[in-house]
């Protein structure tokens, strides 16, 4: 009989389903107490296939959790003013607690302008400068969904993170920086590795928690990983193997897995948790609105 591997693969789909069940129950209880149904609006500009799939998945999860949801679809050629007007209208609607403008936008539209235009209390992506500042000072309520999903995974897998050395590979505004802030707030010692880091692999080998979010296919191999580390792979990279399209992470899963205490797969790891945390943020925004 073959000995079972001690490696644990963290099932993002299973965890996201659990999180959605918890939120569905909370939504039902709140509505029974007379609070309004939380509402999520997603703005989709153009017909990019990947963005269309993401939006469909987000709306499906929102409806599953009992949220009111709507999609505002705009032509890819729409003007900046048209997009601005849609966001302003959603800011003013009392039945909408969360607003998400699906990125990337067509090149003639300003992502920075739109992020700044969304009401910070409805910014369920957590990208508005107000929410970024609140996260930096440890006061954030609305946090970028991918780092929030990673933290849910880590806390459910490891419990108390106090004193752990966490290394984040990547310094993007969407994942790397907010991830580092959340880990600091969980009392980790945090290092950030980026393209200018000297001997990145040596620093990563010190990590009890390794979060890869740099967008380089299978960059991290076993020489980067400390035995017994927990590895969270945020990367989603399309590659071609034997003429077939395949999604891989920033971590070489096959090479690294037997060296870890636990690891997330790609796909089926962080991705589902990101969408579940969008719903979590919408519920958080609705609760803020009630105060």
Does the N-terminal peptide bond of residue 61 adopt cis geometry, omega within 30 degrees of 0?
A: no
Residue 92 neighbours by CB under 8 Å, 6+ apart = none
Which one of 119, 122, 123, 125 is the catalytic residue? 125
Q: Does the annotation count 125 as an active-site position?
A: yes
Per the CB < 8 A criterion, the answer to whether 22 and 156 are in contact is: no
Helices (H), the chain: 12-32, 49-64, 80-92, 111-117, 129-136, 145-158, 176-185, 200-204, 253-256, 270-290
Return per-residue pLDDT of the chain as tens, 291 residues: 344 456 799 999 999 999 999 999 999 999 999 999 999 999 999 998 889 999 999 999 999 999 999 999 999 999 999 999 999 999 999 999 999 999 999 999 999 999 999 999 999 999 999 999 999 999 999 999 999 999 999 999 999 999 999 999 999 999 999 999 999 999 999 999 999 999 999 999 999 999 999 999 999 999 999 999 999 999 999 888 778 888 899 999 999 999 999 999 999 999 999 999 999 999 999 998 875
Round to whole Å and give the CA distance between 267 and 246. 10
Q: Does the annotation count 75 as an active-site position?
A: no
What tokens were used for 107? 């090149």
Q: What was the pLDDT predicted at 290?
A: 73
Is there a binding annotation on residue 172? yes
Residue 241: strand, helix, or coil: strand
Round to whole Å and give the CA distance between 258 and 99. 41
Q: What was the pLDDT predicted at 230?
A: 97
Q: What is the dihedral sign for C-alpha 176, 182, 185, 187?
A: negative
Round to whole Å and give the CA distance between 71 and 53. 13
Q: Domain extents for the chain?
A: 35-118, 145-271
Round to whole Å and give the CA distance between 111 and 45. 12
Q: What was the pLDDT predicted at 6?
A: 65
Q: What was the pLDDT predicted at 242?
A: 79
Q: What is the dihedral sign for C-alpha 166, 208, 237, 145?
A: negative
Per the CB < 8 A criterion, the answer to whether 16 and 271 are in contact is: no
CATH class of the domain defined by 35-118: alpha beta
Per the CB < 8 A criterion, the answer to whether 119 and 91 are in contact is: yes
Shared fold status for 35-118 and 145-271:
yes
Q: Does the annotation count 102 as an active-site position?
A: yes
Backbone angles phi, psi at 246, to 5 degrees: -140, 140
CA-to-CA separations, 289 to 25, 141, 184, 282, in angstroms, rounded: 19, 12, 28, 11
Is there a binding annotation on residue 170? yes
Instruction: Put the strands of the sheet holding 209-212 in their side by side order.
Output: 8-9, 260-263, 229-233, 209-212, 165-169, 189-193
Cα torsion for 20, 23, 29, 32, to the nearest 10°? -80
CATH class of the domain defined by 145-271: alpha beta
Q: What was the pLDDT predicted at 291?
A: 58
């Amino acid at each position: 009989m073959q000995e079972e591997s001690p490696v644990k693969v963290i099932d993002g789909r299973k965890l996201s389903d659990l999180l959605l069940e918890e939120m569905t129950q909370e939504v039902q209880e709140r509505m029974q107490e007379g609070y309004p149904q939380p509402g999520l609006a997603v703005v989709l500009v153009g017909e990019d296939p990947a963005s269309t799939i993401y939006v469909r998945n987000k709306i499906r999860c929102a409806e599953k959790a009992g949220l009111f949801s709507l999609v505002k679809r705009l032509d890819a050629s729409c003007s900046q003013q048209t997009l601005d007007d849609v966001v302003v209208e959603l800011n003013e609607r009392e039945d909408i607690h969360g607003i998400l403008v699906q990125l990337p936008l067509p090149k003639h539209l300003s992502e920075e302008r739109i992020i700044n235009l969304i009401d910070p209390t409805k910014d369920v992506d957590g990208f508005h400068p107000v929410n970024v500042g609140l996260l930096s000072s440890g006061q954030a309520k609305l946090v970028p969904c991918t780092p929030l999903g990673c933290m849910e995974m880590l806390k459910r897998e490891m419990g108390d993170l106090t004193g752990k050395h966490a290394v984040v590979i990547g310094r993007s505004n969407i994942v790397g920086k907010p991830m580092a802030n959340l880990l600091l707030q969980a009392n980790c010692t945090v290092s950030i590795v980026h393209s200018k880091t000297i001997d990145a692999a040596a620093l990563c080998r010190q990590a009890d928690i390794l979060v890869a979010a740099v967008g380089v296919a299978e960059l991290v191999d076993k020489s980067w990983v400390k035995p017994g580390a927990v590895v969270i792979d945020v990367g989603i990279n399309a590659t071609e193997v034997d003429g077939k399209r395949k999604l891989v992470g920033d971590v070489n899963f096959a090479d690294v897995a037997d060296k870890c205490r636990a690891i997330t797969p790609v796909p089926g790891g962080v991705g589902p948790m990101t969408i579940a945390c969008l719903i979590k943020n919408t519920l958080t925004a609705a609760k803020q609105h009630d105060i």
